[in-house]
A = this chain, B = another copy of it.
């Protein structure tokens, strides 16, 4: 194959421009590596008249990404529009219907519609690749789908949202409250247009659901991910966790359990000295566990022009080289469904809440938890104002169900002033 691979790129934000730059600046290197030239034929974005820092005049322009996707003179549709539905999905489906291969960075679209899109692609013999949708420049989709393909994957663990990790590590280093660091991150442009995607764990949950599908041969099930955001983490939690030798991370875990597939993206305490505990700022880290390989740890920049464009190019070069792998590592029609087993694996939990400052309040709480089957490892009241006192409890190992049941008994004690913050402790 020496005819060029012709791309149509929809979406010219940071990542799209990053891809254009790589293709231009490294044309010779890419051709040597791919065995054929890689060319951009046509492009599309919301606004044509906008200074993007490089000249795009030599590429055909389409206002409508669907029209771009259907052009006869492209082989691969590169979808960098974003958003789970709307133009991104329409154009992707149009490209597949026209028999084009698709490379996308769109985790939301695949988390919600991955199964149907992958089935449509297979039906048409089109490839659908998404390295850039998970963990930026880290080639984790490839590592899982191909590098560890000889393994039964037992567990995936990861920090996959750089913005949350930035906020949490910045709270730790600065002592600033969540709201202040959130405002900083916003000012720095680190947050999605809808910041809930970041801080509620949705974006990271999307990514986890995609890796789960590959790892366990199951249909993407984003609804099956237990999601908790970082919005209730206080500087107290950060400090108390640090005192006990932990860091708080928005941690994704996916694993098969006897009860089904557990997927969760929740703030957890992890040992401060572990590689995950030491992860700073916007870096992502994914740990893949396989029955043969043991534990493989991958880390790198989780976002940004260069890293994400690097991941897009990995998929593009694969296609140029003739590499075709099923979207989720096996035919989409062979992916199974697994029962949802959220937090099936027991763990100790960190609890923080505020008590009415009444005599015997702490004892009442301890009794309520104990009666509900959750036993307490450590417990302390660490300061109080006139009416209320913050309390910290570390439980013995328990299931999340038992914990939730126990926490539901607390209001009846009449002494609990705030909803508890409950964070799982992962010893890793």
Chain A residues with a Cβ under 8 A of chain B: 18, 22, 26, 29-30, 32-35, 131, 137-139, 142-143, 146-152, 217, 275, 278, 290-301, 304, 306-307, 309-314, 316-318, 321-326, 329-331, 334
Contacts and interface: CB of A to CB of B under 8 A. Distances in A.
B331 A35 contact: yes
Nearest to A131: B147
A138 B309 contact: no
Given A149-B33, A314-B147, A295 B300 contact: yes
Question: Which of A29, A148, A149, A330 has the most C-beta atoms of chain B within 10 angstroms of its own C-beta?
Answer: A149
A329 B33 contact: yes
Contacts of A275: 275, 278
A150 B316 contact: yes
Given A146-B142, A298-B298, A300-B296, A291 B306 contact: yes
Contacts of A142: 139, 142-143, 146-147
A297 B298 CA distance: 6
7 contacts: A30-B150, A32-B330, A142-B143, A294-B300, A295-B301, A321-B325, A322-B324
B296 A138 contact: yes
B137 A143 contact: no
A137 B321 CA distance: 24
A300 B292 contact: no
A108 to B, nearest CB: 23
Contact of A307 (B294, B299, B301): B294
B309 A22 contact: no
Question: Which of A35, A147, A301, A317 has the most C-beta atoms of chain B within 10 angstroms of its own C-beta?
Answer: A147
Copies per assembly: 2
Given A32-B217, A323-B325, A330-B33, A150 B300 contact: no
Given A294-B307, A323-B325, 13 more contacts: A33-B149, A35-B331, A139-B142, A149-B317, A150-B313, A151-B310, A291-B306, A292-B313, A293-B300, A294-B304, A297-B300, A298-B298, A323-B323
Contacts of A22: 150, 292
A322 B295 CA distance: 27
A137 B292 contact: yes
A197 B330 CA distance: 40
A307 B324 contact: no
A316 B334 CA distance: 21
A146 B139 contact: yes
A62 to B, nearest CB: 24
Nearest to A325: B321
Contacts of A306: 291-294
A383 to B, nearest CB: 32
Nearest to A299: B297
A150 B311 CA distance: 8
Contacts of A312: 150
Contacts of A148: 137, 139, 310, 314
A255 B235 CA distance: 43
